[in-house]
């Protein structure tokens, strides 16, 4: 027996679908509070000292947190090549804006304190705001478009043709999903500030913004669920499904109609995901309102995990449906790399992922503790 045949192709596909979800959730849980803190920066901190405190709560960890984003992109490229080809070409302008905004963050961190000028520093503070708010918003917009279906089709030789535009991505439902994402990460950033900032005024403001953002996230999430149930057509595979067949979406039959939420009658257990989303965000809001620190952050993480998981579990096995040619839709069963490729990647992941987790945990342990103005005045390495 060839070694990679020890694990069925079907199981490998499911494992890599799960791993992709883990990487995306890992990115949201870690770099998500970086984005939220950047978005909150001009509003929760008024003086230069306060703003330096806010920046330095994420300063030591934001670069490491972005590893999850890179790993997610790499996993899509290696495990789901058709998904990479369609999404990175179809969402090209959105991806460009996200990357441009993310590039502002390191530049803002490094250059903000180079000059002792209010206008100079204030300008970079707003650049950091853009670097936090734009990705948080557009990631949600992208998820909303995935649920709506993306205007692409595959030719007979599996060449993808995207027939939409950037402004078509700004569908009202997609914008609602973007607002949920932005509000959720703002609340997450506020929870992080309550844990890390040794500045009572900043923390009080962060709590107020966090409570409001959390309530907006919960309301928007509920509204999106209702919209998804009654206003948006879902997708479904028709006929026999070859779960370990060749990676060719055109061999599958897909119908459009009904509701995405029909998945909850077929697999009732997946309801745990939206429950986690509502409970987690709700208890994070409660923690922020009552002065909780670590508890609010942990509940926020639970809520984010539930919200993101609910999207993947609702859509399974679809990973990128096509709104103009349902037959071109990409699913777990027909858009993966080869059996051997998935196996080799899984072995590599089993070796290196624990190392990344251990190193990340060690970094957070070493850098744990609150950040205050007194500490920054004596630390020449602080931003």
Backbone angles phi, psi at 46, to 5 degrees: -105, -45
**Closest of 38, 342, 349 to residue 186, by C-alpha:** 38
Question: pLDDT category, 311, cuts 50, 70, 90?
Answer: very high
Looking at residue 43, its pLDDT comes to 95
Residue whose token pair is 């509003």: 43
Question: pLDDT category, 252, cuts 50, 70, 90?
Answer: confident
| 307 vs 165, residue with greater confidence | 307
Q: How many residues are there in the chain?
A: 383
Q: Is 17 exposed, middle or buried (0-12, 13-18, 19+ CB in 10 A)?
A: buried
| 380 vs 340, residue with greater confidence | 340
**Closest of 217, 235, 88, 41 to residue 140, by C-alpha:** 217
Kindly state whether residue 292 falls inside one of the protein's structural domains: no
What number of CA atoms fall less than 13 Å from residue 333's CA on the CB side?
Answer: 16
pLDDT at 221 over 60: yes
Kindly state whether residue 315 falls inside one of the protein's structural domains: no
Kindly state whether residue 108 falls inside one of the protein's structural domains: yes
pLDDT at 66 over 90: no
pLDDT mean over 239-256: 88
Kindly state whether residue 52 falls inside one of the protein's structural domains: yes
Question: pLDDT category, 244, cuts 50, 70, 90?
Answer: confident
Looking at residue 210, its pLDDT comes to 97
Kindly state whether residue 256 falls inside one of the protein's structural domains: no
Distance CA 383, CA 53 (A): 9
Percent of the chain with pLDDT over 90: 68
pLDDT at 1 over 60: no
Its domain, for residue 51, covers 7-230+336-377
Kindly state whether residue 180 falls inside one of the protein's structural domains: yes
Q: Render 154-173 in DSSP notation, one character per residue.
A: E-TT--EEE---TGGG--HH
Kindly state whether residue 302 falls inside one of the protein's structural domains: no
Contact residues for 98 (Cβ-Cβ < 8 A; gap 6+): 134, 135, 138, 139
Kindly give the pairing relationship between strand 253-256 and strand 318-320.
Answer: unpaired
pLDDT mean over 321-339: 93
Query: ω into residue 150 within 30 of 0, thus cis?
Result: no
Looking at residue 113, its pLDDT comes to 85
Distance CA 199, CA 194 (A): 9
Question: pLDDT category, 369, cuts 50, 70, 90?
Answer: confident
Distance CA 293, CA 297 (A): 7
- Point out which residues pair with 197 in neighbouring strands: 371
Question: pLDDT category, 356, cuts 50, 70, 90?
Answer: confident
Helix (H, G, I), strand (E, B) or coil at 349: helix
Looking at residue 4, its pLDDT comes to 66
Looking at residue 202, its pLDDT comes to 94
- Tens digits of per-residue pLDDT, 86-132? 988 888 899 999 999 999 999 998 898 888 888 999 999 999 999 99
- Tens digits of per-residue pLDDT, 122-167? 999 999 999 999 999 999 999 999 999 999 999 988 888 889 888 8
Percent of the chain with pLDDT over 70: 99
Lowest-pLDDT choice from 15-19, 51-55, 291-295, 296-300: 291-295
pTM: 0.94
pLDDT at 208 over 90: yes
Looking at residue 6, its pLDDT comes to 79
Domain count, the chain: 1
DSSP state of 89: H
pLDDT at 67 over 90: no
Looking at residue 289, its pLDDT comes to 94
In this structure, what token pair is assigned to residue 365?
Answer: 């342990």
pLDDT at 68 over 60: yes
Kindly state whether residue 301 falls inside one of the protein's structural domains: no
pLDDT mean over 315-338: 94
Contact residues for 339 (Cβ-Cβ < 8 A; gap 6+): 4, 5, 9, 12
In this structure, what token pair is assigned to residue 178?
Answer: 């973007």
Task: Answer yes or no: are the C-beta atoms of 207 and 288 closer than 8 Å.
Answer: yes
């Amino acid at each position: 027996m060839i070694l990679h045949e020890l694990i069925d192709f079907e199981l490998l596909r499911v494992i890599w679908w799960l791993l992709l979800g883990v990487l995306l959730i890992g990115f949201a849980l870690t770099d998500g509070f970086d984005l939220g803190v950047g978005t909150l920066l001009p509003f929760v901190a008024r003086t230069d000292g306060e703003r330096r405190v806010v920046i330095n709560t994420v300063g030591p960890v934001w670069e490491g947190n972005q590893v999850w984003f890179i790993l997610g992109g790499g996993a899509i490229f290696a495990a789901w090549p058709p998904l990479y080809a369609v999404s990175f070409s179809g969402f090209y302008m959105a991806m460009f804006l996200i990357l441009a905004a993310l590039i502002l963050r390191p530049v803002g961190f490094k250059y903000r304190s180079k000059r002792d000028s209010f206008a100079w520093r204030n300008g970079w503070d707003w650049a950091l705001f853009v670097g936090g708010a734009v990705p948080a918003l557009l990631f949600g917009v992208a998820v909303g478009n995935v649920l709506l279906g993306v205007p692409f089709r595959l030719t007979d030789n599996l060449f993808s043709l995207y027939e939409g535009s950037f402004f078509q991505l700004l569908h009202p439902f997609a914008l609602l999903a973007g607002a949920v994402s932005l509000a959720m990460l703002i609340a997450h950033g506020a929870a992080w500030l309550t844990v890390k900032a040794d500045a009572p005024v900043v923390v009080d403001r962060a709590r107020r913004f966090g409570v409001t953002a959390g309530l907006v996230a919960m309301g928007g999430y509920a509204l999106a669920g209702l919209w998804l149930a009654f206003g948006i057509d879902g997708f479904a595979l028709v006929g026999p499904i070859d779960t370990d067949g060749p990676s060719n979406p055109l061999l599958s039959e897909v119908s459009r109609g009904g509701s995405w939420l029909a998945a909850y009658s077929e697999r009732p257990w997946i309801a745990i995901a939206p429950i986690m989303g509502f409970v987690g965000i709700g208890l994070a809001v409660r923690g922020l309102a009552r002065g909780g620190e670590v508890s609010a952050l942990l509940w926020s993480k639970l809520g984010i995990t539930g919200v993101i998981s609910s999207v993947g579990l609702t859509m399974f096995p679809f990973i990128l449906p096509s709104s103009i040619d349902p037959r071109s839709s990409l699913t777990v069963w027909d858009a993966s790399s080869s059996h051997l490729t998935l196996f080799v990647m899984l072995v590599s992941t089993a070796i290196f992922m624990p190392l990344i987790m251990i190193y990340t945990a060690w970094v957070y342990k070493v850098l744990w503790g609150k950040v205050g103005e007194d500490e920054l005045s004596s630390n020449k390495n602080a931003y």
